[in-house]
Structure 1
Amino acid sequence: MESIRSLIEQMLVSIGMSPHYAEKSIFVFLLLCLGFISWLAGYIAHRFITPVILKIVEKTETVLDDYFFNRPVLKALWHVVPSIIFYLLLPQCYTEKTSPTAINLISGATRIYITLTIILLIKAFLSNLVIYSNEQDKLKSHHLIGIIQFLKLLTYLIGAIIIMAFLMGENPMGLIAGLGAAATVLMFIFKDTILGLVAGIQLSTNKMLKPGDWITIEKLNINGIVEEVSLVTVKVRNFDNTICTVPPYTLVSDTFQNWDGMKMRHARRVKRALYIDVNSIRELTEDETTQLMQHKIITSNEIEKAGNPPINLALFRHYIERLLINHPEVIHQETWQWLMARQLEPTPNGLPIELWFYFKEIEFVRYEALTAALMEQIIANIPNFYLRLFQSPTGSDIAKALSSGTIKINKTFSSDCV
């Protein structure tokens, strides 16, 4: 390199250039040559090596290399390689007469550029990791987006510290160690980010939430599908197509309902109550029970269970349970799924008979249609058991009572009202 430098310097001096300007011209010329060589190395790698790597990756059976050796990652890599080549060959351009200011300026700028290219490479790698985790069924249940966003933020933070150290002429490790004294201030500034990260890790490790889950947060009036779980927000699209954002820490500190278990078990609970008028509960006569059996509404076994003489409400409960067991869409063979028609504590509005069972159908519209059809059938058969549903009087009930004379209006007025 020195012989080439001396030969070029002699040629420039021979044509009348002063030795001072000849030396500077040679320095600039070598820098341009070094920059061209570095650029050429990156161009060759991008133009010829990238297609070879992509073909090799395409032929492999593993899926992971398709994400970590694709075009975005290789493009970022081919920016790192030329900058490193430039930095390693840069001392060959210096001489004893080269200004220290120029050396520090060019070396510092090269280091900053290398740092920026490495940050872009890590960013491309982490972005592909997000895509990979979203497309793999085994990783969909893990909350990786928030963690990866934190890693990106950490990469930017460390990169900014390193660049600041290069600009200040300090050792990056010494500058990072010096920031330990400001840890309290940094924790206060990034409080929401840190809480979001910790909450995101808890949501992931406990498998509490993932994109695609149906969640309900009654406190915040949120009921919809999770679209995105990031470092500081959870985006939920409600069923009215409005979008709500919730901090992950809120989901961990407060309670929310996740309907994903319903999808996994393909079972959705029905819990409805019918309020029976207590005055209609009574013992049935033999003729009444015989009539019910003739219409195949009840069975002899159900009559025996209802007591002697049978109680109409007990027969009604047994009828409901048999109807549910014979329904093709109702789950009744699993021990973990309850099926019953039970009494609750009496209320001023009547005696509640609660139906508790599970449908195989979990799709919302179909589920509601099945529930409505079944409840309509049960309500329609209530009069067959000589029972009445409790219902508060309406205007038509009062008008009917007035017209029949059941209720009479006192038309006598006191003298004080005249």
Structure 2
Amino acid sequence: MLPFKDWLEAFDPSALYALGFGLGALLLALAIVTLISRRIALPALLRFAKMSSIAWDDILVEQKVLHRLAALPSLLTLQLGITWVPHLPPALSEAVRLICLCLVIVAIARSISALLSTFNELHRRFSVNRDRPIKGYLQVVQVLVYCVAGILIVSFLLDRSPLILLSGLGAMTAVILLVFRDSLLSLVAGIQLTQNDLLRVGDWIEMPQFNADGDVTDIALNVVTVQNWDRTLTIIPTHKFLEHSFKNWRGMQLSGGRRIMRAIHLDLGSVRFLDDEDIAGLRTIRVLRPYLDQKLKEIRDHNEKTLSEEFATESINQRRLTNIGTLRAYIGLYLREHPGIHKDMTFMVRQLEPTPQGLPLQIYVFTNTTVWTEYEAIQGDVFDHILASLPRFGLRAFQAPSGADISRTTEALQPLRQLPTPEASKAAASASP
């Protein structure tokens, strides 16, 4: 192979016309191919995709698969045509051919990557299993495609077999594992999350370690994107889902009911037995009258059976109704008739252990909707009604003293402060004549 200087000195001027004609023909062919592929074929395919009723060709256009393939005819024309130009320096011809070959490999790799993105979009939109994303797997394939493209390009530039380069990768395994550590961990985590159905796009999750509380919007190879309820986005590495615990609310959403577990703290000083006047007043409550009639009969029969005349007159020996027990029964009956409460799930109104903040009366039921706004509305209606009903049962909700309570107490004690002390009275008596 002659150097370019030697080739120029040995160049026959008569061959100049042949060289110019060859380059001109190549450029003309390249212009025609580019015109056909870029200006005629590509716009025609885009119009056809826009007019067709099927959806997958629209996604091909969105992912620019056709745009990337449109570069191949021009590159292949230049790669093949450069070898037919007469009297061109072999080194220059080989360099142009190798550059075109590398660009062809890059264009094919980018087209395959766009095609994989198209497949992912088709799966996300139309598959019955779109709640099980495949984006992570496709991203792995995309990485492999670009790796293969890089190996082929280096092998062609060095004029060596790709197998030689692949055999040399064994020595680079440690470096690859170090560089792609997070990607490999995330790939394994993504497989486990998907195969065990632990996470889906659209799931409501809580992950306090990362301040994440919202819906999963995307599951990729390296990260999971969560849109929080305040519309902020939390980006969590995929492998962190196997290192940390998280709460998935999907089970609640699929069950059709969401739990209400809230307690009202009652003032222990307001708990007492009910007398006849109290019972007569409570019998006017529609849902409570059958309960009271049945309970009074049960208590009367029990007292007559177990108490002798000697002890029957003492009220503490008798079995009696209490205001808190009657309130528990009323809340249960009220919730049974509430249209927003699920009747077939766990249903309890129970007392918890007394605390310095009073006696907790806990409501443990489920709503018949999982929509957040509807759930909060039902819960608010229930506790509004219960809190407003407490005085009817002679009960008070416990509340720590506020500043207004302390001010009223101080004002009530003010007249006592103005009274003379015993020492002041003695001094005044001794001073008087």
TM-score by length of structure 1 reads 0.78
Q: Any conservation in 2 of the 1:343–1:351 contact (CA below 8 Å)?
A: yes
Shift in Å, 1:380: 1.3
The offset of 1:191, in angstroms, is 1.0
In structure 2, relative to structure 1, the CA distance for the partners of 1:345 and 1:31 (3 Å cut) is farther
Residue 367 of structure 1 pairs with residue 375 of structure 2: yes
Structure 2: distance between partners of 1:354 and 1:222: 29
Between 140-149 and 115-124, the greater mean CA deviation after superposition: 140-149
Corresponding residue for 1:357? 365
Aligned to 2:387: 379
- The 1:89–1:100 alpha-carbon spacing in structure 2 relative to 1, beyond 3 Å, is closer
Q: Point out where structure 2 has 5 or more consecutive residues left out of the alignment.
A: 1-8, 300-319, 424-433
- 1:32 to partner: Cα distance: 4.8
The residue matched to 1:330 in structure 2 has which SS?
coil
Aligned-pair CA distance for 1:206? 3.6
Match of 2:3 in 1: none
The residue identity in structure 2 corresponding to 1:170 is R
Partner of 2:4: none
CA distance in 2, matches of 1:20, 1:267: 91
Worse-superposed segment, 249-258 or 362-371:
362-371
Alignment of 1:118 with 2:118, yes or no, is no
Flag the 1:122–1:345 CA change in 2: closer, same or farther, 3 A: same
Q: Return the letter of the residue paired with 2:104.
A: I
CA deviations on 1:58-113 (whole Å, 9 max, x unpaired) are 7877543443477822222222234335445555457xx87553453233112112
Establish whether residue 101 from structure 1 lines up as the match of residue 125 from structure 2: no
Among the aligned pairs, what percent are the same residue?
28
Q: Deviations over 1:330-385 (max 9, x none)?
A: 222x3xx3222123333332332221222344444443333222201101112222
For the Cα contact (< 8 Å) 1:303–1:310, is it kept in 2?
no
> Which residue of structure 2 aligns with residue 217 of structure 1?
207
Letter in 2 for 1:375: F
Contact 1:342 1:355 in 2 (8 A): yes
Partner secondary structure for residue 387 of structure 1: coil
In 2, are the aligned partners of 1:143 and 1:200 still within 8 Å (CA)? no
Which region of structure 1 is more displaced relative to structure 2, 279-288 or 243-252? 279-288
Q: Which residue is equivalent to 1:3?
A: none
Once residues 270 and 412 of structure 1 are traced to their aligned partners in structure 2, the CA distance between those partners, rounded to angstroms, is 59
Moved more, 59-68 or 150-159: 59-68
- The one-letter amino acid of 1:163's match is I
1:132 paired with 2:122, answer yes
The 5 A counterparts of 1:7-406 are: 20-23=12-15, 26-27=18-19, 29-30=21-22, 32-34=24-26, 36-50=28-42, 63-68=55-60, 72-88=64-80, 91-93=83-85, 100-136=90-126, 138-296=128-286, 298-301=288-291, 304=294, 308=299, 309-332=320-343, 334=344, 337-398=345-406, 400=408
Shift of 1:49: 4.2
Letter in 2 for 1:194: L
- Report the CA distance between 1:188 and its aligned residue: 0.6
- Asked if the contact 2:137/2:221 (under 8 Å) is kept, the reply is yes
Q: How far does the alpha carbon of each residue in 1:15-51 deviate from its partner, in whole angstroms, 9 at most, with x for none?
A: xx98635447635643553454355335324444446
Once residues 28 and 195 of structure 2 are traced to their aligned partners in structure 1, the CA distance between those partners, rounded to angstroms, is: 50
Q: Match of 1:353, as an amino acid?
A: L
User: Residue 286 of structure 2: SS of its match in structure 1?
Assistant: coil
Q: What is the DSSP-based 3-state SS (H/G/I as helix, E as strand, rest coil) of the residue aligned with 1:389?
A: coil
Compare 113-122 and 278-287 and name the one that shifted more. Answer: 278-287
Q: Report the Cα offset of residue 228 of structure 1.
A: 3.8
Which letter does structure 1 place at the counterpart of 2:245? T
* Deviation of the 1:187 alpha carbon: 1.0
Instruction: Decide whether aligned partners of structure 1 residues 71 and 291 sit closer, same or farther in structure 2, where only a CA change above 3 A counts.
Output: closer
Question: In the aligned structure 2, how far is the partner of 1:188 from the partner of 1:241?
Answer: 35
Preserved CA contact (<8 Å) 2:50 2:58? yes
**Are the structure 2 counterparts of residues 172 and 27 from structure 1 closer, same or farther at C-alpha, using a change threshold of 3 Å?**
farther
Kept in 2, the 8 Å contact 1:141–1:207? The answer is no
Q: Which amino acid aligns with 1:341?
A: V
Cα distance in structure 1, aligned partners of 2:358 and 2:295 = 23
- Cα distance change, pair 401–383 in 1 and its aligned pair in 2 (3 A): same
- Paired residue secondary structure (2:239): helix
Q: Structure 1: any 5+ residue segments left out of the alignment?
A: 1-16, 414-418
Alignment deviations for residues 234-273 of structure 1 (CA, whole Å, 9 cap, x no partner)? 3334333443322122223212223344444443322211
Contact 1:304 1:310 in 2 (8 A): no
The alignment's C-alpha RMSD in Å is 3.8
Aligned to 2:310: none
Separation in 2, partners of 1:160, 1:21: 42
Aligned counterparts of 1:387 and 1:157: Cα–Cα separation in 2: 74
Q: CA 1:26/1:269 → structure 2, altered by over 3 Å: closer, same or farther?
A: farther
Q: Report the Cα distance in structure 2 between the residues aligned to 1:412 and 1:104, rounded to whole angstroms.
A: 119
Say which one has the larger Rg.
Answer: 2
